[in-house]
Chain A
Amino acid sequence: MEEMANVHIMGKRYRVPAILTIMGAMEYAGYHLVRGCGCRNGFCGACATIYRIPNDRELKVCLACQTTVADGMYIATLPFFPLLKELYDIESIRPAQRIMMQLYPEIYSCIGCNACTKGCTQDLNVMQYIAHAQRGEYDICAERSFDCVMCGVCSSRCPAGISHPQVALLARRLTGKYLVPKAEHLERRVREIENGDFDRLLAGLMAKPREELEALYNQREIEA
């Protein structure tokens, strides 16, 4: 007999196979999800969920698709968390400290409670990456926040009203666009293509009969 667990979904009790994720348990219970379900693989942040387990006072958070149920679990989903997203023109802003000051000044009101870090469903050190953003160290903020799925749990717990995922996204875009050196080989290749440097080579290849293409493919040299 399959091992079962008793769980409470939105306050109502269900008996579900203990092997299921929270998302699976909700479907087993009869939910046909529209909200709170996205990639089902831990990349999109759509299924932020809060839960309690018996004899533990802590209100825990997770992604429903990435967490196995436990006996006695109380589950409530957070299908939508409205983050604050400021608008900007990526072409005209620059990676200077004042851009964060202008767009997301609340990061300087961080009281260091670390609730964001404790809440992170990806186990990121959220408070730390915000500290780097405060100091204008956008490349470090970018690196440390890279695995963020923007579920918004951190922000739901922040007494300073910080939208951490949006701060991190701005830091990453500034880093990707301005702080990391350009790939010269890429710039060169785009110019060569625009210049038509490869047109003849490609046209010649496309004109070949299938047998010849097969021979070329089967004998092509593979970079080691």
Chain B
Amino acid sequence: MYTGEMLSSIAKVEASRKGRVGAALRRMTADEKRDILGRFHPDYREDRFEPLAIGPNRGEKVPLELAALLQAKSRVADSRIDLDAPAHEVDVLVVGGGGSGASAALEAHAAGAETMIVTKLRLGDANTMMAEGGIQAADKANDSPAIHYLDALGGGHYANVPKLLEKLVTNGPAAVQWLNRLGVMFDKDANGDMITTHGGGTSRMRMHAAKDYSGAEIMRVLRDEVYNRKIRVVDFTAAIELLLDESGRARGAVLMNMETDEILVARAKIVILATGGAGRIHYQNFPTSNHYGATADGLVLAYRAGARLLYADTLQYHPTGAAFPNQIFGALVTEKVRSLGALLVNRDGVAFMHPLETRDVTAAAIIRECRERRLGVETPEGFGVWLDTPMIEIVHGEGAIEKRIPAMLRMYSKYGIDIRLKPILIYPTLHYQNGGIRIGADGQSDVENLFVAGEAAGGIHGRNRLMGNSLLDVIVFGRNAGQQAGRRFKSVRPGRPGLEHVVRYEAERKKAGIDTEKLSPLLLPTYTHRRDGHNAAS
């Protein structure tokens, strides 16, 4: 599978391997981190951002691709929709079928609310399903919520909203307990103690995992539980606009059947947006590890309805996306591979950094190794550096790879690469939307009765998220939104649903001279694989 040039570099990696096992690698100082981020992290490329011309965040910069979507034309701008003939009338409408949507629905339903999930693909088709490495929770004797707080705060560059981060870390152990009681199979030792490891930037080993199918294991259990409780799920149906009442409170959504384009109206007393991230927008033409449906739809809907965004200018590039072979270009290689002892090694066989710096710093260092130092290995799509997977079995013994990271073993074996024997080529891949819709500790956005949970929300992780804090976030804030909605729905006296905010937004667009006919939300990306000579990275 590997090219001749790759194989001769592998020989150098193999020659230096034994000497690298157990050798201490220095961590960067705060100054070194600042420097490398400023020079190499994609978030710091000024020419790839622009200030928004309209809406609640007017004047603040966001990625060019996101600005285009936020300021695009509404899909209902030219339609007349009969809001008096709703197809659905519920207490709580959950938009999105990932981990946070399912958690929110379970809690709202448990509180007695008539709850419905709409999702543009299937329930469980979400980034949660693809989270491999694990979920953080400070539940070991040498750990505490305060230590977890400090790790996440430093990793997030002190920009995390304190009340949100406090909620994340103090509810961490209860979230893991809730999942375990639903039947999620965490990795445990014979006594039942959780087997935990480090993630980048953690100071305690608090990463809980279910092999390297952590998110998949969580998602399939949550989905099963949604079915067991007979919560209504409407799949292949996207929310394309929110409904607000005359007081500006959320009142449901306009839905579109993804297959027939039929427009439907769902009225609700409370709406929970759990629409996930944005990797499929391919910021700065990066490939992505994200799900097919990760297109920032929730941000567009909430922004038009008047909700402020927070840190929409910061994205996470996961340090280790697959750089080769092409069929899996951009796919996630879990951080757990580094947690288990594999080092990042350049073309000459030199381990060039500590493997567990925070993700933004690690990604920037890999980009520097390739761009500035020219010590990357050439691939069909650019460059990559080695992730020396065979080290794992030297450290943890034979069989460790099959037991701890079976998905990685399988992904590469399909292309004739045995990661127990050969290292793999990686390069940063677009992975996570650090920012999102601003929420309070109750999960509510600036729009009354509009709650947001999961990757669509912003502020919890500051400007850089740590590994394992996203699976935690979807559970903690998904449950929180569902519980809050469950407490609140009975006292909501809903008004008349309307789309006046969309009319106003269209007027603002015109006034600002934005005349694009581009429609948003995007719903799904379009790929042509260079049939027409160009293509977003897939």
Contact = CB atoms under 8 A, between A and B. Distances in A.
Interface residues of B, number: 87
Contacts of A27: 527-529, 538
A21 B327 contact: yes
B130 A43 contact: yes
Interface stretch (B11-19, B56-64, B85-93, B120-128): B120-128
Contact of B188 (A85, A177, A180): A180
A133 B154 CA distance: 47
Contact of B149 (A24, A177, A205): A205
A45 to B, nearest CB: 9
Interface in B464-514: none
B173 A186 contact: yes
Contact of B145 (A46, A68, A193, A216): A193
Contacts of A33: 292, 524
Given A147-B213, A217-B154, A223-B198, A177 B531 contact: no
Interface in A202-221: 202, 205-206, 210, 213-214, 216-218, 220-221
A41 interface: yes
B147 to A, nearest CB: 8
B524 A150 contact: no
A146 B213 contact: yes
Given A176-B184, A198-B145, A221 B203 contact: yes
B192 interface: yes
Contacts of B125: 38-39, 44, 46
Interface in A121-174: 122-123, 142, 146-147, 149-150, 169, 172-174
Interface in B167-187: 169-170, 173-174, 176-177, 180-186
Contact of A176 (B177, B183, B406, B410): B183
B75 interface: no
- How large, as a class, is the contact surface on chain A? 35 or more
B529 A17 contact: yes
Contacts of A19: 326-327
A186 B158 contact: no
B228 interface: yes
B410 to A, nearest CB: 7
A118 interface: no
B527 A34 contact: no
A3 B469 CA distance: 43
A213 to B, nearest CB: 6
Nearest to B124: A44
B331 A85 contact: no
A185 B291 CA distance: 34
Interface of B: 29-30, 121-122, 124-125, 129-130, 137-142, 144-147, 149-151, 153-154, 158, 162, 166, 169-170, 173-174, 176-177, 180-186, 188, 190-194, 198, 203-205, 210-211, 213, 215-217, 220-221, 224-225, 227-228, 230, 236, 258-259, 289, 291-292, 326-328, 331-332, 406-407, 410-411, 414-415, 524, 526-531, 538
